[in-house]
Structure 1
Amino acid sequence: MDAESFEIARLTEESGLSNTIAALQFAFWGALTGYSSATDYEQFLCRAARSGQLPEVLVARRGTTFVGSVNLLASEMTIRPALSPWMAQLFVPGNERSQGVGNALIDAAVASAAKLGYQRLYLYTSGTLPGYYASRHWRPIEELEYLGKTRVIMVYDLA
């Protein structure tokens, strides 16, 4: 397999990846995952793996190697409960970045939300990332303080 080839599929309990994803993402984001520990976050991932709707976790793998994931959530930002669904926790390990994994995961999340019948998909981000998402056709709709930092809420129109 060349460096670019990977596949994206919904997280399943059988994959055995919940622990890996929880450990990596919780180490990177901590409470921004929405959970107080990697164990609690892993339990969420296991529930998502059993879910037929949202939440949904999409996982990129190269063979059996985890190369990234993204979550689709019914709600993400507690101060904007009317917005739904959300793309969250887009994560690609450092050694796998710049190989198209993140872009492919975004495309898969957009396709999944559209397949579920949603008209829009939301995310929040900060720093230099709004520019990255804007280049992928996301539009900023609000800038606000959330969890101690300036965040940008962005929307992707699915219809």
Structure 2
Amino acid sequence: MAIEFTYLAYHPQHIPLLAKWYFDEWGTYVEDGSVESFQDKLQDYLNTDQVPLIILAVDGQTLVGAVQIKYREMTIYPDKEYWLGGVYVNPDYRGQHIASQLVMHAEKYAIELKISLLHLQTESLNGGLYAKLGWEIETQVNYRDVDVAVMQKVLTD
């Protein structure tokens, strides 16, 4: 298995599957959400040199996982500009540290974009994977009827 990290912009054929993954995982939190609306939203992420963008993990022609760098994910925090989100790994590939690799690629790329601070939200109130990768919990809140930990990481070269 040779996992390659690339951009959704280079592989738009994966939008339908990625939209289905995202809808199945998080669609219940989006009012009037549908697979089609998720597909439409993913069109905004077809960038390689500016936010928002999606980094994919692919194994040949198989979509393995994804991570997003995006703007202002949580409306209750308008001052928190850049967010990491949408970390998802194909169930067939879980347990192989791909999510960690996706996060680390996103951090590295954010630095290249001159982003020095990223935020994220996770339902793992102890920080889970992100705590292991050096992210720090800022607070816990109930957002859209879900308890989440809001985390941050200062990015340095």
SS class of match (2:6): strand
Unaligned runs of 5+ in 1: none
CA RMSD of aligned residues (A): 1.9
**Would you say how many aligned residue pairs link Structure 1 and Structure 2?**
156
User: Counterpart of 1:39?
Assistant: 36
Q: Deviations over 1:56-98 (max 9, x none)?
A: 0111000010000011101100100110200011000211101
2:73 pairs with 1:108: no
Q: TM-score, normalised by structure 2?
A: 0.91
- In structure 2, which of residues 115, 119, 130 is the aligned counterpart of residue 133 of structure 1? 130
- Report % sequence identity: 25
Q: TM-score, normalised by structure 1?
A: 0.90
User: Counterpart of 1:20?
Assistant: 17
- In structure 2, which of residues 81, 86, 110 is the aligned counterpart of residue 84 of structure 1? 81
8 Å CA contact retained: 2:69, 2:82:
yes
8 Å CA contact retained: 1:33, 1:41:
no
Structure 1: how far apart are the matches of 2:155 and 2:47? 25
Q: Deviations over 1:78-134 (max 9, x none)?
A: 100110200011000211101121011001110111111011110001135613211
User: Counterpart of 1:48?
Assistant: 45
8 Å CA contact retained: 2:49, 2:113:
no
User: Counterpart of 2:121?
Assistant: 124
Structure 1: how far apart are the matches of 2:50 and 2:30? 19
Structure 2: how far apart are the matches of 1:38 and 1:123? 23
Pick which of 36-45 and 48-57 moved more.
48-57
Structure 2: how far apart are the matches of 1:27 and 1:156? 28
Q: 1:70 to 1:34 in 2, by over 3 A?
A: farther
The code of the aligned residue for 1:29 comes to W
Unaligned runs of 5+ in 2: none
Q: 1:14 to 1:123 in 2, by over 3 A?
A: closer
8 Å CA contact retained: 1:18, 1:45:
yes
The code of the aligned residue for 1:102 comes to A
Q: 1:143 to 1:9 in 2, by over 3 A?
A: same
8 Å CA contact retained: 1:125, 1:151:
yes
SS class of match (2:151): strand
User: Counterpart of 1:68?
Assistant: 65
Structure 2: how far apart are the matches of 1:143 and 1:132? 16
